[in-house]
Structure 1
Amino acid sequence: MRKLLLIAALLSPVIIYAQKKGLKTYDLLVGGYGTNIAVYRFYAETGKLAYLSQSDDIKNPSYMCVDKTGKFVYAVSEQSGAGNEVSAFALEPKTGQLTFVNKQPVKGDAACYVSIDEDRKNIFVANYSSGSLAVLPLNKDGSILPLSQLVQGKGSGANKQRQEGPHAHGAFLSPDEKYLLHTDLGTDKIHSYRYKSSQDEPFTPASVTTVAPGSGPRHLDFSPDKKHVYVVEELTADVTVFDYDNGKLNQTQTITMLAPGFKGGVGAADIHVSPDGRYLYASNRGDVNNIVVYSIAPETGLLTFVERKPTMGRAPRNFVIDPTGNFILIANQDTNTVFVFKLDKATGQLRETASYIQIDKPTCLKFASAQPAK
């Protein structure tokens, strides 16, 4: 505790200086397989990080989301078997201090993903091992109410070792929030649900899209123009492109993340489109440990390979592009590091910087504004 107080005291002049100068700063939240969520101040002009605080009120916060005001953080507590929960924290933007609010059970096994709607009516939790999608309403004070709907997946996939049953891996609202896309790694399906936040059970089935057998859809991202969806497939290390229209997906391309002739283990993980919509980034673990960069065709949304960049560590499970689009931060789970790379907006390529942090088993990075919401 004394060490943390000393660090905070040493950093306070730097933080005050940044506030006075009007520099672009954000709070970076880091979750993982440990006992806390750590908060760092991120300086968008330089890519540097400074430790602020941590919360010790949660076990294995492997994934998080932040509400649109930047004042509340929701984190799953991923565990094997019973005891999976989702917790709410209040975030003080100026200091980065997290205060525990409450928690609720998610009635599933290995909760691995959480997201929130714009109006802060509900949060959505993907339970990996039990293959279910949970909906939990929110109070106006940011606290979590008991579960209101549980959608249970069914079926299996071609990969008998990894797809013996449904494995929910993500819950992604469409840009207009009329639909939610739910990736099921275990059945090679992407489920689309109509979403009405005012209803007690807000999801009703809309459509189902099947990807290549044994591919394992994990995460996805929408293009800024809302016309395309990009899905990263963990088991085959592919990215599949879809045209998107009112909850429906139409496949237009599948492109590999692997170098020609590669033989080895893979584990594609995360995927994000650059804020300007010009480039797509996807991470790969296994024996690869890189970020693959693609350019995006403006009209069609189709991808063209640009580069494969090593992440300076092992198991890049998660990464985030900073709100200015100037930097990408990569969480290397197995080597306990988060590295900051500079993004070239013209070429989409990554360049190493001297900025990084060491932290146990990081698995999720999220940004929040360092300025109080008005």
Structure 2
Amino acid sequence: MKKILLIVLLAAPMFVSAQKKGAKTGPKVFDLVIGTYTGADEKASKGIYVYRFYAERGQSAYLNEVETSNPSFLTVTGDGKFVYCVNENNPDGTGGVSAFKFDKQTGKLDLINQQKTKGSPAHISVDKDQKNVFVSNYGGGNLQVFPINKDGSLGQANQTIQDVGRGTNPDRQSEPHVHSAFLSPDEKYLVVSDLGLDKINFYRYKSSKVPSLTPADPAFVSTAPGSGPRHTTFSNDGKFMYNVQEMKATITVYAYNNGKATEIQVINMMPPSFIGTNGAADIHITPDGRYLYASNRGTANEIACFAIDQVTGKLVYRGGYSTIGETPRNFAIDPTGNFLLVGTSKKIFVFSIDKATGRLMQNREAIDVASAVCLKLVPVE
């Protein structure tokens, strides 16, 4: 049983916005659902963990956990009733995907069923209609669509799209490596990053059809050779798309319109003076749309902050914030905009966000979950 952990803020009142009496506010209590890498070590994580997170006070409390192999990435349905995770490696070298029933009040997860994937998966996402989940197989270099049944279980994949080719880096790009699939804000398109081919593929999406994905026109955009596109996010108004590239730790900004992306900027996550190894991972925008953050592993081990020009969508570097030598992967910004939580190799660190400047301040306490790879916040209220 995990101990209940209280996250003590260094200067919490400074960053919590006062609400007017009678004003409508969003949820402030969330379930933090955590995907991890698992292992035989007694100190290693065992599966998916659930903590209650209080976004006004920045406090957290352990709720529940369920054992499952390498749930390195997960997604939660819009109604909060189901959690789907990838199982990155099976004994036979392939991977799988698991469906769980989720109780938001207790944090309990009950396994419904599992399906095998055609490769080792690295990412999973779900549509708002709760018709399909999209699984990106890094090992195997393909994208798969799994239909969701009425009871929340997953059917066998009804569409597999195989990428073909290689990139310019012989060590990392000798074959396709599909790393993520994100729906556009209107869910008319699916945006798929292939790290191995330096490509971002676009597919038209119709949830009621089988197959549900067809190539868009144009079908893809290319990133710089050897850059390795990984994750994507969109501006709050949907007019701009941002893709983080793992191998060069760059972010490409695109003007976006109805499935078409036009490159307008490429910006480095690290200052020119940086000497070391990059390993960019994740990218998110604050609820107010003013700041973008991206994580960088390697020898950098920090969260980079960028201000977003509200007219052009371009980014301006505002600085980096250390994760104390630990490897930062996926992270989440709570919907109130008060906190940024980042999963690392040993713990989940919690940063307070200064909404005026984008500055991050690390809290004294952290959430004691090792090898945290994916964080999702689910409203409880």
Fold similarity call, TM over 0.5: yes
In the TM superposition, 1:86-101 aligns within 5 A as: 86-101=97-112
Choose between structure 1 and 2 for higher RCO, CA contacts under 8 A separated by at least 6 residues.
Answer: 2
Supply the distance in 2 between the matched residues of 1:24 and 1:202 (Cα, whole angstroms): 35
Instruction: Determine whether 1:275 maps to 2:279.
Output: no
Supply the distance in 2 between the matched residues of 1:275 and 1:355 (Cα, whole angstroms): 24
Amino acid at match of 1:188: D
In the TM superposition, 1:219-368 aligns within 5 A as: 219-333=231-345, 336-368=346-378
Supply the distance in 1 between the matched residues of 2:351 and 2:147 (Cα, whole angstroms): 37
Supply the distance in 2 between the matched residues of 1:187 and 1:32 (Cα, whole angstroms): 27
Shift of 1:262: 1.6
Amino acid at match of 1:316: P
Length, aligned pairs only: 352
CA distance 1:23–1:237, change in 2 (3 Å): closer
Supply the distance in 2 between the matched residues of 1:213 and 1:226 (Cα, whole angstroms): 27
Amino acid at match of 2:55: A
CA distance 1:213–1:83, change in 2 (3 Å): closer
Say which of 18, 31, 51 aligns to 2:35: 31
In the TM superposition, 1:188-207 aligns within 5 A as: 188-206=198-216, 207=219
1:107-128 deviation digits (Å, cap 9, x = unpaired) = 22x2010000000000000000
Kept in 2, the 8 Å contact 1:133–1:150? The answer is yes
1:301 partner SS: coil
Unmatched 5+ residue regions in structure 1? 12-21
Shift of 1:71: 1.1
1:125-156 deviation digits (Å, cap 9, x = unpaired) = 00001110000000122111111000001111
Supply the distance in 1 between the matched residues of 2:185 and 2:150 (Cα, whole angstroms): 22
Shift of 1:83: 3.8
1:64-103 deviation digits (Å, cap 9, x = unpaired) = 0000001110000001763411111111111111111111
Say which of 136, 149, 153 aligns to 1:139: 149
Supply the distance in 2 between the matched residues of 1:296 and 1:127 (Cα, whole angstroms): 31
1:284-333 deviation digits (Å, cap 9, x = unpaired) = 00000001000000111000011111023421011100111110001112
Kept in 1, the 8 Å contact 2:27–2:380? The answer is no
1:149-186 deviation digits (Å, cap 9, x = unpaired) = 00001111111110001000000001111100000000
Moved segments of 4+, more than 3 Å: 80-83
Supply the distance in 2 between the matched residues of 1:106 and 1:122 (Cα, whole angstroms): 14
1:320-364 deviation digits (Å, cap 9, x = unpaired) = 00111110001112xx11011000111111011123112221111
1:46-78 deviation digits (Å, cap 9, x = unpaired) = 11111111011x100000000000111000000
Amino acid at match of 2:187: E
Q: Which moved more, 1:202-211 or 1:353-362?
A: 353-362
2:52 partner SS: strand
Instruction: Determine whether 1:52 maps to 2:56.
Output: no
Supply the distance in 2 between the matched residues of 1:259 and 1:24 (Cα, whole angstroms): 35
TM-score under structure 1 normalisation? 0.91
Say which of 42, 59, 66 aligns to 2:53: 42
Supply the distance in 2 between the matched residues of 1:356 and 1:349 (Cα, whole angstroms): 19
CA distance 1:53–1:356, change in 2 (3 Å): same
Amino acid at match of 1:29: V
Shift of 1:23: 8.3
Amino acid at match of 2:292: L
Q: Alpha carbon RMSD of aligned pairs, Å?
A: 1.6
